[in-house]
Amino acid sequence: MNEQLAFTIEVFANGLMAGVLYALVALGFVLIYKASGIFNYAQGVMALFAAMTLVGIQNGQVPFVHLINAIFGTEIHGFGWTVPSFVAIILTVFVMIGLAWAVQRFVFRHLVGQEPIILFMATIGLAYFLEGVADLMWGSELKTLTVCATESVCLPQGMNMWLETTTYEAMGYGFFIDNLDIVASIIAALLVAGLVMFAQYTKQGRAMRAVADDHQAALSVGVSLNFIWILVWSLAGFVALVAGIMWGAKSGVQFSLSLIALKALPVLMLGGFTSIPGAIVGGLIIGVGEKMFEFLIGAPFLGGATENWFAYMLALVFLVFRPQGLFGEKIIERV
């Protein structure tokens, strides 16, 4: 088999894996946008916050320890215990639900009926706020995240040896794919399937779709908007936690984690803000597109690092021809 072709396929596969993670973040956006019309810029920071909380709980850190030490002059370092991953994840989920409640209660309840752009700005404010709180709570240094189900079964690191040896034997070229990426793809696929099932077959899911369709009609048949919004923000928090675990395990828990939110934006533009399948397909297109562009054109001709802007340019060009995105609802404008 042609070496160059095999290498291209490998880049393609890696792009797909990256695309799955983009789709995962984009999914959180779509959930909130559909149900409340809020374009939640803070999704990336929520992922950061969730990952930091998880690490903090695992390591038994005292929240706000630096602040407490600075104010009272104490020398607290930590509780001195470690919490198993499984328990820590459940605790973090509760924290995210609490966060969803607080966001709903203190921010968006007061902004009902405002223009979408104002709501968007509010989420940018929320992103700053959460980032500051996360740093104050757990400290801003780079943290490593290891999640283990039991003593020995952890989220895997490194490349997949099995895949490399089998493909090498079969085709004369060993594929290089991270274990973590494979696991992340499977988990993301499960999560998406779970969310779709939840939306289709449960009472709350049906109420959620009703709210997404028409707020007033949903209110008139007795759906509690307040509850649905908290539910949706909690779900988005949960998706953020999963995304945070995956990205955190891949490249450490640090500020740059929150920037994946920016990467999810072109994904959304491609897929349309209101479509769950759109988010997934868009994520895959962006992931594959930017890896292939970097490999085929960016690195040889343009001096590399084109991943920074390619996704946006692709989305921009795409939107000029199809302003509502791939699966978005057709925009009808009236005076």
Partner 1 sequence: MFYREAGDFNTTYAEDQQTFPIKFDRYRYYLVMFIAIVVVPFVINDYWVNSLLLPFLIYSIAALGLNILVGYCGQVSLGTGGFMAVGAYSCYKFMTGVDIWWGGELLFRLPEFNIFFSVIMGGVMTAIVGALFGLPSLRIKGFYLAVATLAAQFFLVWLFNRVAWFYNYSASGQISAPERGFLGVLITGPSTAPWAAYLFCLFFTIICAYAARNMTRGAAGRKWMAIRDMDIAAEIIGVNPLRAKLTAFAVSSFFIGISGALFFAVYLGAVEVGEAFGITKSFLVLFMVIIGGLGSIFGSFAGAAFLVLLPVALKVVGVDFLGWPTDIVAHLQLVIVGALIILFLIVEPHGIAQLWRLAKEKLRLWPFPH
Closest CA to 11 of 312, 287, 304: 287
Query: Minimum Å distance from CB 335 to partner 1?
Result: 5
Give the one residue of 1, 5, 70, 297 binding partner 1; rule: CB under 8 A. Answer: 70
Using alpha carbons only, what angle is made at residue 300 by residues 296 and 301, rounded to the nearest 5 degrees? 100
Instruction: Tell me the torsion sign for CA atoms 89, 95, 96, 98.
Output: positive
Residue 118 touches partner 1, criterion: CB under 8 A: yes
- Residues forming beta bridges with residue 178, ordered by sequence position: 159
Retrieve residue 130's tokens.
């959460």
* Whether 34 contacts 212, CB under 8 Å: yes
DSSP string, 70-100: HHH-------S----HHHHHHHHHHHHHHHH
Residue 326 touches partner 1, criterion: CB under 8 A: no
Residue 320 touches partner 1, criterion: CB under 8 A: yes
Residue 126 touches partner 1, criterion: CB under 8 A: yes
Query: Minimum Å distance from CB 81 to partner 1?
Result: 25
* Whether 327 contacts 277, CB under 8 Å: yes
Nearer to partner 1, 61 or 160 (CB): 61
With a CB cutoff of 8 Å and minimum separation 6, the contacts of 6 are 171, 173, 175
Q: Which residue has the tokens 């706020």?
A: 129
**3-state SS, residue 186:** helix
Burial class (CB in 10 A: 0-12, 13-18, 19+), 64: middle
**3-state SS, residue 329:** coil
Question: Under rule CB under 8 A, which residues in 3-42 are in contact with partner 1?
Answer: 39
Question: Under rule CB under 8 A, which residues in 146-175 are in contact with partner 1?
Answer: none
Residue 62 touches partner 1, criterion: CB under 8 A: no
Nearer to partner 1, 9 or 107 (CB): 107
Q: How far apart are CA 272 and CA 278, in angstroms?
A: 6
> Which residue type does 291 have?
K
Give the one residue of 91, 93, 97, 136 binding partner 1; rule: CB under 8 A. Answer: 136
Give the one residue of 122, 208, 236, 257 binding partner 1; rule: CB under 8 A. Answer: 122
Stretch 253-282: interaction string toward partner 1, x if CB under 8 A: ---------x--xx-xx---x---------
Query: Minimum Å distance from CB 127 to partner 1?
Result: 7
Closest CA to 30 of 224, 240, 190, 187: 240
Residue 128 touches partner 1, criterion: CB under 8 A: yes
Residue 203 touches partner 1, criterion: CB under 8 A: no
Question: Under rule CB under 8 A, which residues in 92-111 are in contact with partner 1?
Answer: 107, 110-111
Query: Minimum Å distance from CB 267 to partner 1?
Result: 10
Q: How many residues does the chain have?
A: 335
Residue 323 touches partner 1, criterion: CB under 8 A: yes
Q: Which stretch binds partner 1 (CB under 8 A): 123-131, 157-165, 190-198, 223-231?
A: 123-131
Q: How many CB atoms lie within 10 A of CB 15?
A: 22
Residue 299 touches partner 1, criterion: CB under 8 A: no
Q: How far apart are CA 226 and CA 110, in angstroms?
A: 12
Residue 305 touches partner 1, criterion: CB under 8 A: yes
Residues in contact with partner 1, total (CB under 8 A)? Answer: 52
Give the one residue of 13, 23, 57, 130 binding partner 1; rule: CB under 8 A. Answer: 130
Residue 125 touches partner 1, criterion: CB under 8 A: yes
Retrieve residue 98's tokens.
């609490």
Which residues form the interface with partner 1 (CB under 8 A)? 39, 66-67, 70-71, 107, 110-111, 114, 116-118, 120-122, 124-133, 135-136, 140, 262, 265-266, 268-269, 273, 302-306, 308-309, 312-313, 315-316, 319-320, 323, 325, 333-335
